[in-house]
Amino acid sequence: MMTGQETIGKGTWIDKLASELLEREKQIGRNTDLIRVESGLGASGIPHIGSLGDAVRAYGIKLALENFGYKSELIAYSDDLDGLRKIPEGLDVKEEDIGKRVSAIDDPLCDEHDSYGSHMSSLLLDGLDELGIKYLHKTAHDTYKNGLLKDQIHRILVDSKKIGDKIEELTGQQKFQNVLPYFPVCKNCDRLYTTESFEYIADEKKIRYRCKDSEIGSNVIKGCGHEGESDITKDLGKLAWKVEFAARWQAFDIRFEAYGKDIMDSVKVNDWVSDEILEFPHPHHVKYEMFLDKGGKKISKSLGNVVTSGKWLGYGTPESILLLLYKRITGARELGFEDIPALMNEYNELEDIYFGKTKVENEAKLVKSKGLYEYVNLLNPPKNPGTHVNYRLLIELCKIFKDNRLEHVTSKLIDYGTIKETNSHVENLIKLAGNYSDDFEETKVPATKIAIDDSSKIALKQLTKLLSENEKIEDLQNSIYSIAKENQVQPKDFFKLLYQIILSTERGPKIGPFIEDIGTKNVAHAISKHI
């Protein structure tokens, strides 16, 4: 991110990408009064963190461009004309709806939305709103219905032979050498992907099609056999993915769009169509890796392994999601709710670096850490640091205290010296950690009386003396282990005893780092009450 002494913007990958984009725009010689970035939002399944990530990262580029002094906006484009290919797990959708556009299928989850597509889009948009992402929302249904792509559709269909040959050359797919890259909505059965366009009457801007059996994924969808005509300026239809992005880019003047490696082939073709057919230099791109579930499978909207932003925000802050998405863009990552505690604590570490509480000697790392913190706060960082409480400590405390949780956990935190007094931020953290502990963690019954033998008492006195000293302990975990062994106490029994004293439970996080989280002197004080 840094070249010699030179820092680009805030020193992150976001600034580097925005800088590359600006450099390219200058080379092309395009107007940069307004630089639009785009994120396509799928509306065919329940949106997961990866779906959200596309828009969040594009917004990062928008922020970086604004930081460089340019006006920019994010277009969030919901593809609600997409045909349903398969029924997502757990959704009550009729088999006969497969192949229909998602904007024409009833909402299977509630009555609040006018269609399946509208509900799925709203889940994504709600996620963006909760994270503070600002965007201009466009839908495929309105875009096509209002004829915003009609000129692009016409040019693509006129050159369809050339495009079909190029698709075969770039991807090996021969389909579009025989059919046109456009799906009208069948006027008889209302399906989309069963229609096959075989002729374009250019001077009338009409397409001739037949509705026939089609294979979508692993499903064969029955066509109704209807043959008809569709007017590209009035009737609903949709460009094939291999050419649709290009049409959108030109129509909306898009200068940046990221993409996942699963659609690389489509992007290759779209870039060529944009450059050669529509004569619009394709947007600057960056490829990102997919999020995987903990079994190493790609997180899918149609499977049940969905980590949604709505669920995530029940356990973690918006900043924890933004940190996950802004940390880096390359490399496939396994993702699960178990990542939340580490991200919550990492945010605190970044904040400490930003406000100078933690010293970082490496200048490049310092700049990058501060820059990342600013992006996680959408370039509007707080004036003062918040109250920090180790999230894993909160989970452990929430496991113990289920009744009057807020009161009891707050009291413990004050006892430890972790906080001086409570505030709304701490109370929110306790609520989130409580949700996490209730849903993911096994709860143990708190011990009421602690039995301590003579050998353990001597070991505890030795540990208290060590913890009370002002010097930093190099390896506390090992020191505790050694103190136990020296006094003929089984280390596992000694650890259990410490958990009982500190947390009123028999187990917890790794004891050495945990004591450091709470504060060595605070723990020494807690132990001294028992010896």
For 134-145, letters b (16+ CB in 10 Å) and e give ebeebbbbebbe
Q: Which residues pair with 196 in a beta bridge?
A: 210
Strand bridging mode 35-42 / 214-216: unpaired
Residue 48 CB neighbours (<10 A)? 26
For 56-194, strand residue ranges (E) read 72-79, 136-139, 182-184
Q: Which tokens go with 410?
A: 């707050």
Position 523 scores a pLDDT of 87
Hey, what amino acid is at 248?
A: R
Report pLDDT for 120.
80
For residues 282 and 510, what is the distance between their CA atoms, to the nearest angstrom? 51
Cα 168 from Cα 191, distance rounded (Å) = 26
Domains of the chain: 2-150+242-291 (3.40.50.620), 182-239 (no CATH), 391-440 (no CATH), 454-528 (1.10.10.350)
Side by side, which strands form the sheet with 227-231? 195-201, 206-211, 227-231
Bin 237: left if φ > 0, else alpha if -120 < ψ < 50, else beta.
Answer: beta
pLDDT along the chain (531 residues), means of 10: 67 96 96 96 75 91 98 94 72 71 73 74 88 95 93 97 94 92 93 92 96 82 93 93 95 94 87 97 86 52 63 95 88 76 93 94 93 98 92 85 91 83 95 93 50 92 90 87 94 91 72 80 86 82
Q: How far is CA 406 from the centre of its chain?
A: 30
Query: What distance lies between CA 298 and its chain's CA centroid?
Result: 13
| Owner of token pair 């991110």 | 1
